[in-house]
C-alpha cells in the first residue's frame, strides 16, 4: 500500500473580486401592483397587531415568507427596514424552512422598530403609484431598461430605492408575526427570540418570577405549567423553540438483554492476566456510571462527582457506561473479527446520567463543566441519546452545546446515532444532530442497516449521521463486559466507541489534527461513486473500514495526500499541485474531503452554521476571460464568474453551508485520460463566506484529504513525491511505525536526579 502524504506549503490568500451591484429583478420576473398592495396590507395588519405590544420588547417581530430558499445576498434590503445600508443580518432572529421537499422556501424572522412599519407602508405606496402611472400596473425586466427616463424626484423616492422595493416584493410571499402553535407540556425548555433583552427581564414583566423562573442562558428557560400558561397567553409570539426538559436515555430492552454472565472467579482471573496500563492515551467517556468490578478497572479513571444523589446509583445505572468502556479499552480482544490495529486505550469516565429519564439540561451543565476542566482530552465518546426525534427547524440544545465546545476548543465528540425503541422513531435523536461532531450509525456485519436504525438528515439538509460502523444486531451482537461479566450487546452506543478508538489513534498516536483525522475517517468510508442521498440518511458517507491502515494508506494505484491550512481571506488557494502525466494526459480520477469546525448560532434556525467553506479541486486552466481558474472535479460553479447557482441548488448539490464537503469523480471502466491545459498543475481553492457579517470564518482551520486514482492501475506515487518536492512543497510521508516510535518517546516520563 502507499502511505498517506502530507503536503506543506504556502497557500495564497485572495480577497473577493466581486463587488456586487445594484438591485435588479431576477430574469423573467414580473411584479404586479397587486403584489405590492398585498405587502402594504400585511404591513398594516402588523402595525395593528404590534401597536399595543411593543412595551414588552421595544420592537416588533416580523416573519418574512420568501418564495424560495434565498442566499444572504438576495434577502430583502428595504421593505421592513429604514434603508438598505443597515446590517440586516443583525436583525435576523430565526430562520426555518416551510413547503415540501420539492419546493422548500425560507421563513425568516426579523426584529425591527414599530415605526419601520408605517415608514415602509408609505414607501411601497409611492412605488405602487409609479408602477400604475408609468408601467401599466406591472413591472418586468424590459421595464428596467426604461427606468432612467423616470423623474423620481417628483415621487420623493430615489431610483435605487424604487428598484430595491420591487426586487424585495418579487421574492416575498407575505409578511406576518410569529405564531407558536405546537402543544406545550410541563417541564418545557423554552427558547425565546433574541430581542436584545435578557429573558429574565422579559418574563418578570409578565409576572413570572422566583421559583417559576429557571434560566439556562440569555434566551432559554425552563418553565413549568403555571408559568408556561402565562407566557402562552400573554406573549406567544416570543416563543422561538420548545423542547421537553426530560429525555429518556434508557436503552430499549430488546437490545442487549441476553446476558452470558461469567462467574466472579473468572472475572478475577481476567484481572490477574490483563496488563497494567502504561502510557496509552485517554479517551473521554460521558455516560452512565462505571462498575469497578471489571477486569480492566485499572484502565479507567472514574469520576462520578458531577452527579447529584450519588447514593442512588444502582447496578442498572452502571451497565451501559461500563460496556462502552470495554470496547474502548479492549474491544479487539473480546471481538477479534473487529481487530482494528489501534491497540488499547485508557478511559477517563464521567458519570453524567442514569439509566432511564434524565434532565437534558442537567446533562448539558455536566458536559460543559467536565470538558472545560479536561481540555487535555481531545476525543470524547458520547453514546447517550434522546428517544425524542430531532426538530426539522432547529438544532437541539445538547447538539448546539457540543458544536460550541468543538468550535471553541481543539476537541471532537464521537456521538452515537441513537436507536429506535418500541415507539418506532424515524428521525435520530439529540445530540446526534450536532453538526461539528462525528455521528455514527450502526450496520450489520454484511454492511446493511440494523433493525433499530434511525435516520437523518438534520435541518432537512446536513448529512447526519456522518458514517456507519458495526453495532451488532439480533444474532450478531457485540461482546462487551460489565461488572458481572460478559454481556452481548447491540446498538449505536457500541458502534461509536470503535470510531472513537480510530479518532484517538489518528490524533494522539499519529499526531494528526482533528480536521484531518475527521476527514480521513469520512473519506475512508467513501468509494468512487457519488454518495446516494437517500442512503446517506442511514449510512452517512458510508461504512468505515475495520483496519486503521485502510484509513491511513491507499492502494498502489492511488495517491492519497492531505493539505491543512486556515482561511484568512475570501479565497485560500494554490495552483501548484504537480500531478505526474502520461503522454501529455492526466490519467486520473480524483476525490476530496474537506472538514472544518465552524461557529454556529442556534437562534438562526435552519441557517445554523455561520461560515461556509466552498471546496474546489481539479486541473488549473484559463477561463473565457483569460483568468486562471480551477476546473473542479464536481463541476461546482457557485463562485465562477460565468456561473449562477440558485441557493436551493447550491445547498442540495454542493452542500453549501455544510461543514463536511466530499466531492468525487465517479469511476467508470471506460474512463479516459484527461486533457492537460496550459498549466499542467492541479489546484485547490477553499472559498469562505460569512453568513452574519461578523468575521466568524476568519482564521478557521480546515483540512482536505485528496486521493488521485490512476485509471490504468499504474503506481505513480514516487514520481508524485519527486515532483512535489521539486515544486517547493515540503513532503512528509505518514510513516506509522516512525510516528508511533515518536509518540512512545514523547510519552516517556523523564526522572531527574
pLDDT tens digits, one per residue of 565-624: 999 899 999 999 999 999 999 999 999 999 999 999 998 999 999 999 999 999 999 888
Give me the count of residues in the chain.
753
Please report the DSSP string for 552-619 in residue order: H-B-TTEEEEEEEEEE-SSEEEEEEE----BTTEE-EEEEEEEEE---B-GGGTTS-BSEEEEEEEEE
Q: What is the pLDDT of residue 201?
A: 87
pLDDT tens digits, one per residue of 68-109: 999 888 899 999 999 888 888 889 999 999 998 888 999 999
| Cα separations in angstroms, 156 against 149, 151, 152, 641, 734 | 16, 10, 7, 37, 68
Q: What is the pLDDT of residue 254?
A: 41
pLDDT tens digits, one per residue of 638-670: 776 555 667 777 777 778 889 999 999 988 877
As given in the structure block, the three cell numbers for residue 534 are 437517500
Q: How far apart are CA 632 and CA 613, in angstroms?
A: 15
Q: What is the pLDDT of residue 182?
A: 73
Q: How far apart are CA 316 and CA 118, in angstroms?
A: 63
Q: How far apart are CA 241 and CA 745, in angstroms?
A: 51
Q: Sketch out the chain's domains with CATH numbers.
A: 30-176 (no CATH), 188-244 (no CATH), 264-510 (3.40.50.200), 554-740 (no CATH)
* Average pLDDT of the segment spanning 14-29: 78
Q: How far apart are CA 337 and CA 693, in angstroms?
A: 51
Q: What is the pLDDT of residue 749?
A: 58
As given in the structure block, the three cell numbers for residue 128 are 405602487
pLDDT at 672 over 60: yes
Global pTM?
Answer: 0.92
More confident residue, 558 or 639: 558
Q: How far apart are CA 58 and CA 60, in angstroms?
A: 7
As given in the structure block, the three cell numbers for residue 404 are 460550541
* Average pLDDT of the segment spanning 5-16: 92
Cβ neighbours of residue 752 closer than 8 Å, sequence gap 6 or more: none
Amino acid at each position: 500500500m502507499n502511505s498517506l502524504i502530507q503536503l506543506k506549503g504556502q497557500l495564497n490568500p485572495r480577497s473577493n473580486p466581486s463587488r456586487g451591484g445594484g438591485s435588479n429583478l431576477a430574469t423573467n420576473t414580473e411584479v404586479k401592483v397587486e403584489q405590492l398592495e398585498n405587502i402594504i396590507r400585511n404591513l398594516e395588519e402588523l402595525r395593528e397587531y404590534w401597536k399595543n405590544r411593543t412595551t414588552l420588547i421595544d420592537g416588533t417581530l416580523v416573519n418574512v415568507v420568501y418564495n424560495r430558499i434565498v442566499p444572504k445576498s438576495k434577502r430583502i434590503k428595504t421593505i421592513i427596514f429604514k434603508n438598505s445600508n443597515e446590517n440586516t443580518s443583525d436583525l435576523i432572529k430565526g430562520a426555518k424552512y416551510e413547503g415540501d421537499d420539492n419546493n422548500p422556501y425560507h421563513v425568516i424572522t426579523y426584529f425591527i422598530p414599530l415605526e419601520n412599519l408605517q415608514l415602509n407602508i408609505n414607501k411601497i405606496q409611492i412605488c405602487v403609484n409609479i408602477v400604475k402611472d408609468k408601467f401599466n400596473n406591472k413591472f418586468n425586466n424590459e421595464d428596467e431598461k426604461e427606468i432612467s427616463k423616470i423623474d423620481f424626484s417628483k415621487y420623493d423616492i430615489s431610483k435605487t430605492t424604487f428598484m430595491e422595493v420591487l426586487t424585495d416584493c418579487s421574492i416575498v410571499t407575505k409578511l406576518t408575526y410569529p405564531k407558536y402553535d405546537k402543544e406545550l407540556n410541563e417541564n418545557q425548555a423554552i427558547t425565546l427570540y433574541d430581542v436584545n433583552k435578557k429573558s429574565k427581564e422579559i418574563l418578570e414583566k409578565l409576572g413570572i418570577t422566583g421559583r417559576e423562573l429557571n434560566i439556562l442562558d440569555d434566551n432559554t428557560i425552563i418553565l413549568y405549567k403555571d408559568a408556561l400558561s402565562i407566557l402562552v397567553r400573554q406573549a406567544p409570539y416570543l416563543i422561538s423553540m420548545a423542547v421537553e426538559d426530560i429525555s429518556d436515555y434508557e436503552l430499549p430492552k430488546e437490545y442487549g438483554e441476553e446476558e452470558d454472565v461469567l462467574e466472579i472467579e473468572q472475572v478475577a482471573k481476567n484481572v490477574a492476566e490483563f496488563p497494567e496500563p502504561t502510557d496509552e492515551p485517554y479517551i473521554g467517556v460521558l455516560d452512565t456510571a462505571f462498575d469497578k468490578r471489571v477486569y480492566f478497572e485499572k484502565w479507567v479513571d472514574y469520576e462520578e462527582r458531577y452527579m447529584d444523589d450519588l447514593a442512588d446509583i444502582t447496578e442498572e445505572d452502571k451497565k451501559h457506561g461500563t460496556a462502552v468502556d470495554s470496547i474502548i479499552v479492549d474491544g479487539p480482544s473480546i471481538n477479534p473479527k473487529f481487530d482494528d490495529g489501534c491497540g488499547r486505550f485508557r478511559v477517563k469516565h464521567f458519570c453524567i446520567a442514569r439509566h432511564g429519564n434524565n434532565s437534558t439540561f442537567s446533562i448539558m451543565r455536566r458536559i460543559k463543566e467536565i470538558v472545560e476542566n479536561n481540555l487535555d482530552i481531545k476525543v470524547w465518546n458520547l453514546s447517550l441519546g434522546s428517544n425524542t426525534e430531532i426538530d426539522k427547524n432547529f438544532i437541539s440544545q445538547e447538539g448546539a452545546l457540543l458544536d460550541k465546545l468543538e468550535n471553541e476548543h481543539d476537541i471532537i465528540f464521537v456521538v452515537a446515532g441513537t436507536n429506535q425503541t418500541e415507539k418506532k422513531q424515524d428521525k435520530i435523536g439529540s445530540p446526534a444532530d450536532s453538526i461539528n461532531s462525528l455521528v455514527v450509525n450502526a450496520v450489520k456485519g454484511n454492511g446493511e442497516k440494523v433493525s433499530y436504525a434511525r435516520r437523518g438528515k438534520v435541518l432537512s439538509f446536513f448529512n447526519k449521521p456522518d458514517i456507519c460502523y458495526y453495532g451488532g444486531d439480533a444474532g450478531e451482537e457485540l461482546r462487551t463486559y460489565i461488572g458481572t461479566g460478559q454481556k452481548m450487546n447491540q446498538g449505536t452506543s457500541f458502534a461509536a466507541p470503535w470510531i472513537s478508538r480510530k479518532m484517538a489513534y489518528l490524533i494522539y498516536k499519529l499526531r494528526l489534527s482533528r480536521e484531518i483525522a475527521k476527514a480521513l475517517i469520512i473519506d475512508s468510508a467513501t468509494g468512487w461513486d457519488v454518495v446516494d442521498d437517500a442512503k446517506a440518511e442511514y449510512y452517512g458517507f458510508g461504512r468505515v473500514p475495520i483496519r486503521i491502515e485502510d484509513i491511513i494508506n491507499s492502494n498502489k494505484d492511488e495517491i492519497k495526500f492531505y493539505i491543512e491550512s486556515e482561511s484568512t481571506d475570501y479565497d485560500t488557494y494554490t495552483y501548484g499541485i504537480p500531478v505526474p502525466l502520461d503522454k501529455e494526459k492526466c490519467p486520473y480520477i480524483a476525490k476530496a474531503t474537506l472538514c472544518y469546525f465552524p461557529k454556529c448560532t442556534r437562534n438562526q434556525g435552519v441557517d445554523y452554521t455561520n461560515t461556509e467553506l466552498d471546496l474546489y479541486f481539479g486541473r488549473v486552466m484559463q477561463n473565457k476571460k483569460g483568468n486562471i481558474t480551477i476546473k473542479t472535479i464536481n463541476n461546482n460553479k457557485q463562485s465562477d464568474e460565468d456561473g449562477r447557482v440558485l441557493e436551493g441548488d447550491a445547498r442540495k448539490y454542493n452542500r453549501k453551508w455544510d461543514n463536511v464537503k466530499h466531492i468525487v469523480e465517479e469511476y467508470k471502466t471506460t474512463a479516459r485520460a484527461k486533457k492537460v491545459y496550459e498549466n499542467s498543475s492541479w489546484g485547490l481553492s477553499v472559498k469562505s463566506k460569512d453568513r452574519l457579517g461578523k468575521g466568524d470564518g476568519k482564521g478557521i482551520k480546515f483540512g482536505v484529504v485528496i486521493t488521485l486514482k490512476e485509471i490504468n492501475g499504474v503506481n505513480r506515487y514516487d514520481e508524485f513525491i519527486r515532483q512535489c518536492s521539486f515544486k517547493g512543497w515540503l513532503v512528509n510521508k505518514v510513516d506509522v511505525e516512525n510516528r508511533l516510535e515518536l509518540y512512545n518517546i514523547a510519552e516517556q516520563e523523564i526522572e531527574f536526579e
